[in-house]
Amino acid sequence: MTEHPHTPLPRLADTLRRLPPSCGPVRLVAVDGHAGSGKSTFARRLAEALGDAPVLRLDDIASHDQLFGWTDRLRRQVLDPLSRGETAHYATYDWHERRFGPADGPLPPAPVVIVEGVGAGRRALRPQLAAVLWMDVPHEEAWQRGRNRDGAVQRDFWDGWEPAELQHFTGDPSRPFAHLLVRQCPEGYEVLPGPHVTLTEA
C-alpha cells in the first residue's frame, strides 16, 4: 500500500496567517464539503494549529427551516461586525428544541477565523473569504459516514438532507472555487492545490 504524504497543519496555518485580510482585519477561511466529510474535526485541528483560532460552525447558524437559507443571518450577525473589527454575537440554533437561543457567540475578530460547514464557500460569501478549503470526499462516501455516525435516530433527517444538499451544490458549487483540497490520510491530512487560483500571500 502506498503511503500518502501528509501536510503538517502548522505549515498550512502559517500560509493562512500570511494571507491578506478579507473581512475587515480578519482572514476568513471556509472549510466546506459534503455532510460527513470530516469538516468539523479538520477545522478543530486547524484552529489548534492556528493557536486556538475561533471557529464558527454553520450548524449553529442553519436551522430545520433554513438548511441553506442562512446567508442574510450570517452576514448580519457575524460578517458585518467582523468587517468593522468588532466581536460578533450570534444566536445558536438548537437542533433538538428546534429554536434559536439568545445571542451567545462571541466570535472575536481574530487574525484568522474559520467558518466550517456545508456551503461555507458559497458564492455570496466568497468576496469576504481569504481562502476556501474543500474536504475532498465524494458525497456518497461522506453521506454514508454521516449516517453511520448519527445512527437510525437521524435517518429521517438524512433522507431530507441529501436531496437538499445536492440541490444546493448543483446551483452553487463550492469545490470549483476551492483554493485547497483536503484529503484525510491514515495519519493527518494531505493538502493539495484546488481548482481555483493559487493563494496569494501578503
Give the alpha-carbon dihedral of 93, 94, 100, 103, to 10 degrees: -70
CA–CA separation, 11 vs 64, rounded Å? 37
The tens digit of pLDDT for each residue in 47-79 reads 999 999 999 999 999 999 999 999 999 999 999
Measured distance CA(194)–CA(177) in Å, rounded: 8
Do residues 95 and 35 touch, judged by C-beta distance below 8 A?
Answer: no
| Position 185 confidence tier, pLDDT thresholds 50, 70, 90 | confident
pLDDT confidence of residue 200? 65
In terms of pTM, does the model score above 0.85? yes
pLDDT at residue 12 is higher than 90:
yes
